């Protein structure tokens, strides 16, 4: 085993099967510490906990899995792990393995990706790993992909402000065609609200809807996993639209 230190987190919570799979895969690459939310935190985006204190509990399971559970968001976990819990700064932060892909515009809502973004902001190379299924318990392909990508990141590093967003098709490992470097595509969730009335006569709404994918290009993240490739997108958070600066500067705002 190398002397690398790896921080593992997620947004499905420390008891989710995906984080156990990721812990197993990462344990082959270095010393792993798990710091993860104590309950599911999906679709929390890049939330942080400002107005409440954070509680931390140590977890020790009979299978050897141990770590810290935090009553906060994925971003909270990365912050408190690196600033308060870990004695050594991790060489890499890996978030996942999420149940459900994080592609296209949906990555804006993703707690899995936000944990990696938080790591990146702390200048630690970070990787988010998601499996394109809400039900699968077969993490074989995703574990292999995580191990492959993270071992390269440990060796080569990542550019400033850039994380890798890895999505793995939920198919038997030997059917995965390989790795494709992709862009964030335009796949999105089209919302619909279902209006209902509760037994006391009060109205409430359920958000529902479905994914739609307007992308044609095969090098888009969602299309790559549909084509049975592992998708790897380099994601940054330089959010300025430089293309619009000149036109905007022409607006007469005085």
Q: Give CA–CA dist 22/13, Å, rounded.
A: 13
Task: Output DSSP code: residue 67.
Answer: E
Nearer to a second copy by C-beta: 24 or 45? 45
Structure tokens, 246: 């000149």
Write out the binding residues for a second copy, residues 2-31 only, by CB under 8 A: none
Q: Are 254 and 197 in contact (CB under 8 A)?
A: no
* Measured distance CA(78)–CA(116) in Å, rounded: 8
109 forms part of the interface with a second copy (CB under 8 A): yes
Is residue 1 at the binding interface for a second copy, with CB under 8 A as the rule?
Answer: no
The minimum distance between CB 162 and a second copy, in angstroms, equals 5
Q: How far is the CB of 63 from a second copy (least distance, A)?
A: 26
45 touches a second copy (CB under 8 A): yes
Site string for a second copy, 194-233 (x = CB under 8 A): -xx-----xxxxxx------------------------xx
What letter does residue 84 receive in the DSSP assignment? Answer: I
Block residue for tokens 């993860």:
36
Judged by CB under 8 A, the stretch of 18-26, 54-62, 133-141, 168-176 that binds a second copy is 54-62
Least distance from a second copy to the Cβ atom of residue 170, Å = 19
By CB under 8 A, name the one of 13, 15, 27, 54 that touches a second copy: 54
Q: How far is CA 251 from CA 241, 244, 245, 246, 248, in A?
A: 16, 11, 10, 9, 5
Which residue lies nearer to a second copy by CB, 64 or 206? Answer: 206
By CB under 8 A, the count of residues binding a second copy is: 74
Residue 185 backbone dihedrals phi, psi, to 5 degrees: -95, -160
């Amino acid at each position: 085993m190398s002397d690398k230190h790896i921080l593992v987190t997620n947004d499905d919570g420390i008891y989710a099967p995906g984080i156990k799979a990721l812990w197993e895969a990462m344990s082959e690459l270095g010393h792993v510490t798990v710091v993860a939310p104590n309950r599911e935190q999906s679709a929390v985006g890049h939330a942080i906990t400002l107005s409440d204190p954070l509680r931390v509990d140590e977890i020790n399971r009979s299978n050897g899995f141990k770590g810290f559970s935090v009553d906060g968001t994925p971003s909270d976990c990365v912050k408190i792990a690196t600033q308060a819990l870990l004695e050594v700064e991790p060489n890499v932060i890996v978030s996942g393995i999420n149940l459900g892909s994080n592609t296209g515009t949906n990555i804006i809502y993703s707690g899995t990706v936000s944990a990696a973004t938080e790591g990146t902001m702390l200048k630690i190379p970070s990787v988010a790993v998601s499996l394109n299924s809400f039900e699968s318990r077969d993490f074989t392909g995703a574990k292999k992909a995580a191990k492959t990508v993270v071992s390269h990141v440990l060796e080569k590093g990542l550019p400033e402000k850039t994380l890798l967003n890895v999505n793995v098709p939920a198919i038997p490992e030997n059917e995965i065609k390989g790795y494709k470097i992709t862009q964030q595509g335009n796949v999105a969730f089209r919302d619909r609200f279902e209006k209902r009335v509760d037994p006391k006569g009060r109205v409430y709404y359920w958000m529902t809807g479905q994914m739609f994918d307007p992308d044609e290009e095969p090098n888009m993240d969602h299309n790559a996993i549909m084509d049975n490739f592992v998708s790897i997108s380099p994601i940054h958070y330089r959010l300025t639209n430089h293309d619009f600066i000149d036109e905007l500067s022409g607006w007469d705002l005085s």
